[in-house]
Structure 1
C-alpha cells in the first residue's frame, strides 16, 4: 500500500494531490476556498460518463476485484462501493479487497472512492470480527453522549484500519423498543432528545476518525412494523407530529457540518407530501424539508433502489433518475451488474438530454468531492497501533469502551420505573442459593467465573423445555435462578413456568425488549439487550445489589 501511495505522490500534480490526499481542513478560510477551486477545476475536466459514475454507490457479489468487476469499474466508473457479508471472509481479506477497489477506482476515474459498510452494531454488524459491537439500544440505554462518541471513534478507527471511510450508521429512527418495529434494537430508543444526543455524539466520534456517518432513515420510520425491504410502507404521521418526534434527531444531526450523509427512507409520508411519493423520490422531503428547513449541507443518499419499497414504484433505472432529480446526490444499487449498467446508461442519457440538468449534477459533485477530500480512505494516522489481530479486536481502548457500555447499560436497567408499593421480605444475598441457566455458554461461563463459589448451572439446548428449568429449581433448591435469555425459544420456556417458580427468576434479557415487555410476576427482569461475552460476569458483579432490590420490572428510565 505504501509503495502504491508513493507512486501516486510522484506521478500526479500538486492540485490533484490536494483532492486525493487532502492536507486541508474543511473549515472557513483560505484552505476551504482553495479546496473549492480545486474541486471546481476537477469537475470541469470530467466527462459526462465520469460525472454520472460519481452519483452511484454499488454492491457486487465478489470477495476480490475479479475481471468482470474490474471491467465494470472501467466502463461505468462508480464513485462509491458498499460491502456486505457476502464480500467478506476475514479482516486481512477485507483490507486487500478495499485496497484493490481503491486502486481500480483511482485508475479509471482519478478519484478516490467512498467505501461503505453497515456497521451499526448488534445484528447489523457486517465485519466478521469479534467481539461484535453493542447494538444501538444498548448504547442508548447508557444515556451517555460521551460514551457514544468514544464508541463512534473506536468504531471509526477499526473501520479505517480495514479500508472503509463511510459507515451507514447511525440509525436516527425514534422507535419504541417494546413495539414490533422492523427497526427494533437498531434504534437508540423512544426518546427523541436521547436519540438525537446519542446519535450526534456517535457521529462526531466517526468523524474524528475521518469516517463519514450516514444517518438513516430520513425523515424517520417511527415504530411501524412493516419493512420497506419487502413492501411499500406508509407513515401516516402529520408534519407537526414528526417535528415533535421523528425530525428532532435529524435536526440536531444537520448541525454537525457538511462532511456527513443522510440516507432517505423508502416510506410514503402523506403528511409531508400529498403526492404520495416515497421519500427517496420526493422533492418536498429531500429538498424543501431537509435542505431548506433543516439547513442540511451534507450528502443525500438513497436506500437500495432494488428494495421492494422502491421497485414496486419504479424500475431501478427510472428510480435512480427520479431520486437524483428530487434531490439525492448518490443513488444505491447493490445487486446485478445488468441492472446497475442500465441505471448508469439511463442517467447518462438524461444528463446529455438535459432532463437531468448539468448544473444540478455539478452541485452534487461539489458535495461528493468535498466529502471525499475529507475522508480519503488511506489517510489513517500511521502512529495509531493496530486494533486487530486476525479477526479479533485486540485494542485495549476498544475493550474498555465496550466494557463501560455494558456496565452503564446494567446500571441504567437497575433504575426502577416506579417505587414498589410493598417491599417483600428478602433473604440476605449471602445466604441465597443462586443458580444460573442460559442457552449462551458465554453467559454461563462468565457468570460462574465471577462467582466466589461453585453454583448449579444448566445449559439450555434447542430441545430444552420449561420442565428443565423446573427440575433445576427443585433439585438444587434454588432461591434465585438467573436466566440469560437470548431469544424467543428461551423466553417461551421461562413464560411457561408456574407463578411460584417465576417468583424465583431473575430474567436477564439479552435479546429483543419485546421478549419481556412486562414483569409478569418474575422476581426481576433486567433488560440488557446486549449479548456480550462478559454479560454474565457483569451480572455476577452486581449480584448482591440485584438480589437485595425490590421485585419489579427494570428497563429504560422514563
Structure 2
C-alpha cells in the first residue's frame, strides 16, 4: 500500500512539474540566462521596456523608404522584435543583419513559416501543408519535416516560427485555416502539433501554437471582421482547447491568441478573445498554467483594429495578459497609451517586468546573448538541399490517401490490351501526373474541353480523371466547377473511373454522389511529388497508406484510408530515404563521370541505381558523340550488346523450362535434332549456358564476305538481298542459314575450361523460334515487354524512335564502312537481320532496370508472375564453381577470385551481365540493389578499352555499396 502511494505521489509530482515548467528557461544555462536578463532589464529605461513589447512587420522586398522608416521606428521606440513577411531569403538576411547591428537589445525575429520559408519568401522551399501532414500516420516523419523547416528558419536568422496551427478545421467553409490545419480531429491535430514542436525546438527555433482558443469552426476571416465561435464552454474545453492543454506539457514556448468573438469564454458579444483577460490571463495562464510567451495575432487585422480608438486595442491586449503585441495598428498611439497606463498605475511594474523578462529569456534561449551576423555564403544551397527534397517526397508518399476503391480497381495490374484515358480538370498544370502515367503504359490525353469527349471515351476501359488546382497558397480556390461535376458523373456512368483530387479534400464535397466512381485518390496538393506518387499508386509502384484528416460526408469520416500493395513495378524515391550517404555517393559519381568524359572513355552514358523497387538515381552524362552536339537524355537508346542475352533470349528459354518443354539436363541434340551428328549434340544445356562446353567465343561471319562483297551485298533492298545490316547496305537473304550452319559445324576447343561464348545464344534463338513458330523479336515483346509495360526495349530501334534518341555505336571502318547508328553493332546479329539471341536489343537504363527488377522480384512484376522463384533459382546458380566456372545459366555471377565482373563487394546471390558496347546490369537480392550502366564506349571504334581497363563500371558499383549505411 505504501509503495503504491509513493508511486502515485511521484506521478502527481511529475505531472505538476511538467505543468509548472517554464518553457523559456534554458535548463543547461539557467543561472547565466537569469543573470543576463536581469542585467539587461536593470539598465533599461521605461521607454526601452515598453518597446520590447512590440513586434513590427516588414517586407524584405519593401522600398528603401519603408525600410528607412522602420529603422527610424526601431530606434525611436526601442522595438523588441520584427516579423518578416514577403520578399526573398537573400534580402531578409541582409536586412536582419542591418537591423540587429543597430538594435540596442538584440531583436527577436519572427516569421510565419508554417510549411517553410515559402509561406512568405519567393523562390523558397515549400514543405507540404499541414492538411497533407495530417494524413500521415508516422509522426516521426512530421518531426523530420519540422526539423528541416526549423533549419531553414534558423539559417535566415528567424527565432520564432509562428507555428504550428493547432486549429481543428471542422468547418469546410473556413476561409483562412483550411489546408493550414492538420485536420478536424483533436487527437490527430495534437499528435502532429507535438511532432512539429519537437522538430522546431530540436533546432532551437521557438514555436507558437495558434490560433487560441481555436479558429477552425468558423466560415469568417479575422483579417476582415471579428469571426464568431458559437460553441459552449464545455465543447470548447473538450475540443478546440484540448490540443493546447496537451502541448503545454511539451515545452510549447508561446501561444498566439486569435481575434475571435467567443461569448462562452469572454462573456461579451463584442470583445475579441485577444483583448479578453478572461481568456488570456484567467484561462490560458492561470487555469491552464501556461508560462511561455503570449503573442496577439496581428493587431492590424480587422478583428482587433476596429476595437476602440487609436492604440486602445494594443493597450487592452497588454492588460489582458499578452506579452508581445504583434504588428500594432497604430504604434505611436499604442506606445503612448501603454506608457500613460504605466505612469497612471494601471500597469504595474511587476506586470511590465513579467512580460519583458519573458521576452529577454526567449532572446537568450535563441542565442541572442552572443549574436553573430548571418552568413550569406551558400545561402541558396542551404535552403533547398537534397535531404529537403527527399523528406518532402517521403511526406507525400505517406500522405496520399485512397478513399474509395470499388471492385479493387487499383492498383491497375493488367496493361496488355487495357485502354486507358486521362482527362484533365482544373486550371493548374498536370504535366508530371500525365508523364508518370505514361511511364507505365500508353495513356491517351483529353481535357474537359475535348471535342465529343464522352463519345471518344467509350473506347476505353478505364478513365483517370485528375482534378488539378493551384497550391501556390493554401487559400487558393479548390472547388470543382459545376460543369466538371456533371462531367465526372457522366463519365463514371459509362467508364471505370479513377478520380485523383490534387487539392483540398473538401473539393470532394461538391460531388453529388461518389456512387458511380469506382476509385478516388485524395492527393491534397498539386505538387509534382503528389502527381508522381499518385500515378505510381495507380499502377502499383507505390503503396497507398494515407488517411483522411477531415471527414468527407459521413460515409468517409476522418481516418478513412484504404491500403494497397505494391505490384512490384519500379517507382521513384531518393537515396536519402533508402539509407545511403547520398552526398558522398553523388559526389563520387560526378567525379568519376568527369574522369570518363574528360579522358574520352565514352562520349556519354546513363546511370541508374535502384533499391527496394525504387529508382534512387537516374542520370545521363555527356553526349551522343565527341562532337558534343546532342546531350544524352534518360530516354535515349543504347545498343545493349550482350545484355540481349539475359533481357530477351534467356527469359523466353526460362519460360520453356518452367513449362517443362525443355530441361537444363537436356542436350543440344534434344532441342535441335539437326545437331544429332554434330560435335555439339551431346553437350548439355546446363554446360552450354554455363560457358563450360568448349564452344568458340565467337565466329566472325562477316570476314569471308569481305573479299567478294559484290556476291553478298547490295545498296538497295530486294528479295534476294533483304537483310539490312546498315544504312543502304543489304546482305543476301539466304545468309541466315549459313550462319546457323557455321555455328553447328564450328570446332570445339580442346581444353575443358570456362570460356565465354556467344554461340549458345545462336543455338537458343534457333530453338526458341522453331518452338514458337515466331520471331524472337515478337516473342519477347508479347511475352514480357508489352504486359510489363516496358516501352523502351526493342530490336530495330529506328522503327520505334527518331535518330536523335538513338546513340551512335561505332564508326565501322572494317566491314560496313559507315557510322553504325540505329543498327546493331554486333556483326553476327546484324547478319541475322538485326535480331540476335546474343545481341541486337536497344534500350535505355530504365527499361533495362524494369526487366532486372522482375528478376529481383523472383519473377514477379506488375501483379503477374512471369516465373516461379524456383525457376530463378535454377538459372541463378553456379553449377560448376568447383571447376572455376563462375557463371550461372545465362546469367553472369560474381568473381570466384580477384578478377571478375563485379566490385567483389556483392553477395554470391547477385547476378547480371555486361555488354561489349559498354553496358552493364546487375542485381543483388541480399541488398535489393539494382544497378544499370549504359554507354557507347566503342565510339568511334572498338579499340577504346579504357572503360574496361580502368574498371569504371565496377568502381561505380563499389561506390554504391560503400555509400550504403550498415
TM-score, length-scaled by structure 1 = 0.82
Superposition deviation, residue 182 in structure 1: 3.3
Aligned equivalents of 1:241, 1:426: Cα separation in 2 = 42
Q: Distance in 2 between matches of 1:121 and 1:284?
A: 32
Where does 1:480-491 land on structure 2 (aligned, <5 Å)?
Answer: 480-486=463-469, 488=478, 491=481
Deviations 1:281-330 (A, max 9, x none): 11111111111222211110101112111123223511111110110001
What are the ranges of 5 or more consecutive residues in structure 2 without an aligned counterpart? 1-23, 470-476, 545-552, 561-966
- Does structure 1 residue 522 correspond to structure 2 residue 517? yes
Question: For 1:346, what is the secondary structure of its paired residue?
Answer: helix
For residue 72 of structure 1, give the secondary structure of its aligned residue in structure 2. Answer: helix
1:353 aligns with 2:355: no
> Within 5 A, what are the aligned runs for 1:73-112?
73-85=74-86, 88=87, 90-105=88-103, 109=104, 111-112=105-106
**How far does the alpha carbon of each residue in 1:210-238 deviate from its partner, in whole angstroms, 9 at most, with x for none?**
21111111011232101121112221212
CA distance in 2, matches of 1:63, 1:254: 40
Higher relative contact order (CA 8 A, sep 6+): 1
Deviations 1:383-438 (A, max 9, x none): 9995733xx9431221121111100111xx1265xx96x77899854243233325
The whole-number CA distance in structure 1 between the counterparts of 2:502 and 2:116 is 11
Within 2, Cα distance between the matches of 1:188 and 1:176? Answer: 11
- Identify the match of residue 281 of structure 1 among 267, 275, 281: 275
Partner of 1:405: 395
Q: Is the 8 A contact 1:175 1:223 kept in 2?
A: yes
1:163 aligns with 2:146: no
SS in 1 for 2:539: helix
Cα pair distance change 1:72/1:280, threshold 3 Å: same
Q: Which residue, out of 538, 544, 549, partners 2:539?
A: 544
1:172 and 2:166 matched? yes
- In the alignment, structure 1 residue 317 sits paired with structure 2 residue 308: no
Alpha-carbon distance in structure 2 between the residues aligned to 1:446 and 1:271: 48
Q: Conserved in 2, the CA contact under 8 Å of 1:526 and 1:554? A: no
Hey, what does 1:473 align to over in structure 2?
457
Aligned-partner Cα distance in 2 for 1:55–1:532: 39
Partner of 2:431: 444
Contact 1:433-1:478 at 8 Å conserved across structures: yes
Bigger CA drift: 514-523 or 244-253?
514-523
Number of corresponding residues? 508
Deviates more, 1:112-121 or 1:183-192: 112-121
CA distance in 1, matches of 2:340, 2:30: 33
State the 1:92 CA deviation.
Answer: 1.4
**1:149 maps to what in 2?**
143
Cα distance, 1:505 vs structure 2: 3.3
User: How well do the aligned residues superpose, as a CA RMSD in angstroms?
Assistant: 3.4
Instruction: Tell me which residue corresponds to 2:420.
Output: 434
> Does 2:334 match 1:343?
yes
SS of equivalent residue, structure 1 residue 304: coil
Rounded to whole Å, the distance in 2 between the matches of 1:251 and 1:189 is 18
1:200 matches 2:190 = no
> How many angstroms apart in 2 are the aligned matches of 1:466 and 1:489?
21
Counterpart contact for 1:415–1:555, Cα < 8 Å: no
What is the CA–CA distance in structure 2 between the aligned matches of 1:358 and 1:317, rounded to whole Å? 20
Structure 1 range deviating more: 52-61 or 485-494: 485-494
Instruction: Decide which of 323, 326, 349 is 2:320's aligned counterpart.
Output: 326
Residue correspondence of structure 1 range 169-318 to structure 2 within 5 A = 169-176=163-170, 178-180=172-174, 182-257=176-251, 260-276=253-269, 277-318=271-312
C-alpha contact 1:79 1:113 (8 A) present in aligned 2: yes
Question: In structure 2, the residue corresponding to 1:262 is in which secondary structure?
Answer: strand
Contact 1:388 1:395 in 2 (8 A): no
TM-aligned CA distance change 1:237 to 1:466, over 3 Å: farther
Q: Is the 8 A contact 2:115 2:127 kept in 1?
A: yes
Query: Which residue matches 2:888?
Result: none
**Is structure 2 residue 484 aligned with structure 1 residue 494?**
yes
- SS state at 1:514 partner: helix
1:493-515, Cα deviation, whole Å (9 max, x unpaired)? 43121634135432221222221
SS at 1:296 equivalent: coil
Task: Describe the shift of the 1:98–1:252 C-alpha distance in structure 2 as closer, same or farther (beyond 3 A).
Answer: same
Residues 234 and 268 in structure 1, CA contact (< 8 A), matched pair in contact too = yes
Cα distance in 2 for residues equivalent to 1:144 and 1:84: 31
Is 1:299–1:329's contact at 8 Å kept on the other side of the alignment? yes
Does the 8 Å contact 2:212/2:255 carry over to 1? yes
2:414, 2:379 → 1: CA distance? 40
Alignment correspondent of 1:557: 559
The question of whether the paired residues in 2 share the 8 Å contact of 1:125 and 1:133 is answered with: no
Aligned positions of 1:6-85 closer than 5 A: 26-28=25-27, 31-60=29-58, 62=62, 66-85=67-86
The 1-side partners of 2:57 and 2:232 are apart by 35
Tell me, in whole angstroms, the C-alpha distance in 1 between the residues paired with 2:277 and 2:556: 44
1:126 counterpart (100, 120, 126): 120
Is the contact made by 1:447 and 1:539 (CA closer than 8 Å) also made in structure 2? no
The residue number in structure 2 matching 1:7 is none
* Change over 3 Å in CA distance of 1:27–1:120 after alignment to 2: closer
User: Could you tell me which residue of structure 1 aligns to residue 402 of structure 2?
Assistant: 414
Give the equivalent residue in structure 2 for 1:10.
none
SS in 2 for 1:402: helix
1:32 is displaced (CA, Å) by 0.9
Under a length normalisation based on structure 2, what TM-score does the superposition of the two structures give?
Answer: 0.49
Q: CA deviation at 1:536?
A: 1.9
Q: Which has the higher helix share?
A: 1
Structure possessing the higher radius of gyration over alpha carbons:
2
1:512 aligns with 2:510: no
Aligned to 1:8: none
Question: Is the CA contact 1:510–1:527 (under 8 Å) kept in the aligned structure 2?
Answer: yes
Distance 1:102 1:557, change over 3 A: same
| CA distance in structure 1 between the partners assigned to 2:372 and 2:139 by the alignment | 25
Evaluate the alpha carbon distance shift between residue 472 and residue 69 of structure 1 in structure 2; reply closer, same or farther with a 3 A threshold.
farther
Q: CA separation of 1:275/1:522 partners in 2, compared to 1, >3 Å: closer, same or farther?
A: same
8 Å CA contact 1:181, 1:226 repeated in 2: yes
What is aligned with 1:22? Answer: none
Assess if the C-alpha contact under 8 Å between 2:143 and 2:196 holds in 1.
yes
2: CA distance, partners of 1:187 / 1:388: 29
CA distance in 2 between partners of 1:325 and 1:385 (Å): 44
Assess if the C-alpha contact under 8 Å between 2:56 and 2:328 holds in 1.
Answer: yes
CA contact (8 A) 2:430 2:531 kept: yes
Whether contact under 8 Å (1:172, 1:195) holds in the other structure is: yes
8 Å Cα contact 1:143/1:198 also seen in 2: no
Q: What is the CA distance between 1:541 and its match in structure 2? A: 1.3
DSSP 3-state at the match of 1:195: helix
